[in-house]
Structure 1
Amino acid sequence: MSAIYDELKAILLAKSVRTGEFTLASGAKSDLYIDCRVTALDPVGARLIGQLGWAAVREKIQNDGLNIDAIGGMTMGADPISLAVGMTSAMEHPEEMLQVFNIRKEPKGHGRGKQIEGNFKEGDQVVVVDDVITTGGSTLKAIDAIEAAGGTVKFALVLVDREEGGRQAIEERGIPVVALYSRATLLGE
């Protein structure tokens, strides 16, 4: 897996990581901006995310004796990651295949008024996904939506942990976090 880890890291650094002065979604100022969507929507990046993400998810499932039905998170950042991991699970271990869902920022204003779309149902045990965590706010919002719809979040899969308190906020809710990369591992800090 180290070759896959290194290859994905190189793509993240080339396409998704920028240094400078930025205002984040939280309103905070930062010297680091990470747009994982550029990597996750790259065909090679998506393949590598699927392989690395599924290996991490499967290891957590096996180590903790979990039964997981589905994987998903807040649209837009979680969508390609969730799909890549779900597709890899179906290809590598069809008997353990994860269904994929996404969560709208707000429930639909028409039709059935659903907030969670795709392959999710009440009672599902799920992995919540986020591309980047800073404060953990969007991941916590996803957890709230899943719980409100009758699902149980067993752990979070995050592509990059910025190491700015988000992991701690999520883990304070009793949700372990599995991060594929951190600020330190990406930037060699």
Structure 2
Amino acid sequence: MPNLLKELKELLDSRAFERRQVVLSSGKTSNYYFDGRKVSLNPKGAYLIANIICDMIRNDNVNAIGGLTMGADPIVGAVGVAAFEQGMNMSLFIVRKEAKKHGTMRLIEGPALQAGQRVVVVDDVITTGGSIIKAVQAVREVGCEVVKAIALVDRQEGGAEALLEMGVKVEAIFTAADFGL
């Protein structure tokens, strides 16, 4: 996995970070912007992310993996393919920002989650933890156990601590400090 991590770090550093003043979705101002989709929607990036996450969850007896749309979508799809190739049996899910107003009126898309299932929640970045918290709350309402949350990058701005207070362990592949930020 060390070579996968090195390759992913190089891709993230060259494609996903913009070092400039920006206002984040949390309303905070930052001297950089991170857009993980620039890597998770790249074939090589998707491959690296998926295989690294599969290694991170291999021994966790996970039944499903998913997260809040949009940051989680490409990660979830890529992990699903890699997990299948590696013989890891799990389902995938995406949590909508709000329940559909028509049709199935679902908040969680994908094969129905069942109470007692062990799930992992993913996202491209964690700042305040808002996106992951919303996904955690949605799957907990179904009765699932959140084994852990995984982010490509933790901005180290309190999100991991907020999730820990909810009883959710956070594992970031990288932190902002890994990129000198």
TM over 0.5: yes
- The Cα shift of 1:138 comes to 1.0
Residue 99 of structure 1 corresponds to 91
Structure 1 window deviating more from structure 2 (76-85 vs 28-37): it is 76-85
- Give TM-score scaled by structure 2 length: 0.95
- The answer to whether the 8 A contact 1:136-1:169 is kept is yes
- Which residue matches 2:104? 112
2:126 to 103, 120, 133: 133
Q: 1:57 maps to what in 2?
A: 57
- 1:2-21 to structure 2, matched below 5 A, reads 2-21=2-21
Tell me, what secondary structure is at the counterpart of 1:83?
helix
Unaligned runs of 5+ in 2: none
Q: Can you give the 5+ residue segments of structure 1 that lack an aligned partner in the other structure?
A: none
Residue identity in the other structure for 1:180: I
Using the aligned pairs only, state the percent identity.
43
Match of 2:150 in 1: 157
TM-score, normalised relative to structure 1: 0.91
| Structure in which a larger fraction of residues adopt helix | 1
Q: RMSD of the alignment, in Å?
A: 1.2
User: Using a 3 Å threshold, how does the CA distance of structure 1 residues 120 and 180 change in structure 2: closer, same or farther?
Assistant: farther
Q: Per-residue deviation at 1:68?
A: 1.3
- Consecutive aligned runs of 4 or more in structure 1 exceeding 4 Å deviation: none
Amino acid paired to 1:177: V
Structure 1 residue 150: deviation in Å?
Answer: 2.5
Which residue is equivalent to 2:77? 83
CA–CA separation in structure 2 for the residues paired with 1:154 and 1:31: 33
Separation of aligned partners in 2, 1:177 and 1:8:
19
Q: How much has 1:183 moved relative to structure 2?
A: 0.5
Please state how far the C-alpha of 1:35 moved relative to its aligned partner. Answer: 0.2
